[in-house]
Chain A
Amino acid sequence: MAWKFDNPLHTLCTDDQNEAAKAVWEGESLGGITEDNNRLPPPIIGILVLTIVTAFLITFPLWGQRPTAAIYEEYIALMDSPAIQGKSDAEAMEYIVNQVKASGSKWAPLQERHPLEMDDLRLIKDAIIELQRNGSDLREFTVLGDRLVLANFEGNLKADGTKERIQPWWDKGYTIDIFFIVIFCLGVMIVVKRLPDYGWEPSHHGH
């Protein structure tokens, strides 16, 4: 009785049940997931909203997750300064760090998070100077030991048609996420509101 092979999408609902469902559909607020059936308690709705907001906040570009070459630019510039000649590596490094901090570097938090030793600095010095000479954007390069590696981020288009390798606020992944969540909310509202009457009793209208 339940399944008609010639019309698989045939309903088991009666017309008046459908009309009643439509009336609920018209009359409900808040997308319908909170009414008619049992209400979702407000604290739980709060948690759901909080989850969606948190999802974006916690994964939003965390600048400085990995050290970029840009944050060491100022260090490199000071490496040849006469003030550190004759000092031991440790003293020289301390001097450089303090000097950069005192000058109010905009990278200060990141420099603190990714400290270096003089030997590390020597390893990347030539590569950074090379990049500066080429006019590259140092923020696109991640420092990995002795190597400067182009990041996999996809940012704005540059004049030469290539993409900036810096994570933009509109990161492709996040943009898809926003689209996805909007579609999800719309979809769930439509589906949930248009659920037919549900009951454990079999109803054999006309069959």
Chain B
Amino acid sequence: MAFREYKIGSRMFGLAFGTSMFITLYMPAVDIQNVSATSIAMDRQLSFGRVGGFSYEDPFLQGWAKPITVQINQDPKTGATIESTRAFVYEKGVPFPNGIRHPRILGKVPAAASESKGRINEASEDQGAVFIVREEVDGGVMVPYIENATATRGWLPSATLAKASESQRLHVGKGKIMFVREGCWWCHTLLPEQTQDWQYFGAPPMLGDFNGESPTAFGSDRKAPDLTHVGSRNSSREWMMMHFFNPRLVQSHSIMPRYDYLWGEKDANGNTIDYDGWRAAYTAYADGKSIYPPEVPVPAADSEARALIDFVLNLK
């Protein structure tokens, strides 16, 4: 006689657990896999780079090996004036995002367009590349695709970077790393809800808006405004700068921590930032002993604060 409680029990267990795994893992995976990427998804992953969290190229989340998003008005190859174009510069050795590495995750149609029209399969991480997100009508439908401008237009990463002034460069990829490392997403969600939220925080994302992005850092515990469209609500770099340095400067009731330590040692002019002096002056201001708060130092171009501000302003 078989050990009935084991025989029936273990088979039933396998059946129950297996069925629930089939329904909750396999079936949604098939559905999600068939979703085509939108141009939003392409823009996001190209500006963020391969991974926004821990990765081999950036194990301590310092923002190493991330792309730079630029807004250029001149053709980097010919020098001719072109209409303002948003391009994603991957310098030599910067890992490409997942949509370039595995185009099938963009969905059938966009992947085919990206390969045939955009020539993304010719891009190589050893040489670096410049990408652009394009949309073209194909068969009555708007098809977004990624264009490898290095192959199609001869835009080299270094030349493209050179055409963008400091203010036209956005360190969005590094900023996303800061967003994850500093735990911004523990309070600020990146997911306006589908039901009522849009009235205040803007349109919720759609099914294909995330293909290729990792991590999505939706957040779950909202203690602060949703940031998905924050760049559209408030595009002031000055305000962001003050807010990150000490949120109470611009919003006296904020419970956000100060992120002044992201400024590093030197400000944009190369002067050493006197944190103790600043805090003492701020305390005097907060206590009503002085009328004006101390001046907030402008972050240096390569500082972490600048990257985070770029990332936040880029959330449109």
Contacts and interface: CB of A to CB of B under 8 A. Distances in A.
A136 interface: no
A18 B19 CA distance: 29
A194 B5 contact: yes
Contact of B12 (A8, A9, A191): A191
B6 interface: yes
B199 A180 contact: no
Given A66-B195, A145-B199, A9 B7 contact: yes
Given A65-B195, A66-B194, A191-B8, A18 B1 contact: yes
Interface in B1-36: 1-9, 12, 15-16, 19-20, 23
Contact of A187 (B3, B7, B15, B194): B15
A136 B4 CA distance: 58
B49 interface: no
Interface in A113-158: 142, 144-145, 147, 149, 152
B293 interface: no
B261 interface: no
A9 B23 CA distance: 29
Given A144-B203, A149-B206, A190-B8, A13 B19 contact: no
A184 B15 CA distance: 10
Interface residues of A, number: 27
Interface string B188-207: 00000011001100111011
A207 interface: no
Interface of A is mostly: mixed
A196 interface: yes
A21 to B, nearest CB: 8
Given A144-B198, A144-B204, A145-B202, A11 B23 contact: no
A176 interface: yes
A193 to B, nearest CB: 10
Contacts of B9: 191
Contacts of A176: 23
Contacts of B20: 180
Contact of A8 (B6, B15, B203): B6
A13 B15 CA distance: 25
Nearest to A114: B196
A147 B5 contact: no
A183 interface: yes
Nearest to B206: A149
A195 interface: yes
Nearest to B20: A180
A66 B197 CA distance: 11
A65 B7 CA distance: 46
Given A144-B203, A183-B19, A11 B195 contact: no
Contacts of B7: 9
Interface string B137-172: 000000000000000000000000000000000000
Contact of B16 (A8, A18, A144, A187): A187
Given A8-B6, A180-B19, A180-B23, A187 B1 contact: no
B165 to A, nearest CB: 33
A163 B4 CA distance: 47
A11 B233 CA distance: 69
B297 to A, nearest CB: 38
Contacts of A187: 12, 15-16
Contacts of B194: 66, 142
Name, among B3, B6, B199, B206, the residue most crowded by chain A CB atoms within 10 Å (CB to CB): B3
Contacts of B3: 8-13, 196
Contacts of A184: 16
Contacts of B8: 190-191, 194
A190 B8 CA distance: 8
Contacts of A21: 4
Contacts of B2: 9-11
24 contacts: A8-B3, A9-B3, A9-B6, A9-B7, A10-B3, A11-B3, A12-B3, A13-B1, A13-B3, A13-B4, A65-B195, A66-B194, A66-B195, A144-B198, A145-B198, A145-B203, A147-B203, A176-B23, A180-B20, A187-B12, A190-B12, A191-B9, A194-B4, A194-B8
Given A18-B4, A144-B204, A191-B8, 20 more contacts: A8-B6, A9-B2, A9-B3, A9-B7, A11-B1, A11-B3, A13-B1, A15-B1, A66-B194, A66-B195, A142-B194, A144-B203, A145-B198, A145-B202, A145-B203, A147-B203, A187-B12, A187-B16, A191-B12, A194-B5
Interface of A: 8-13, 15, 18, 21, 65-66, 142, 144-145, 147, 149, 152, 176, 180, 183-184, 187, 190-191, 194-196
The 7 A-B pairs at the shortest CB distance, nearest first, are namely A11-B3, A9-B3, A11-B1, A9-B2, A196-B5, A9-B7, A144-B198
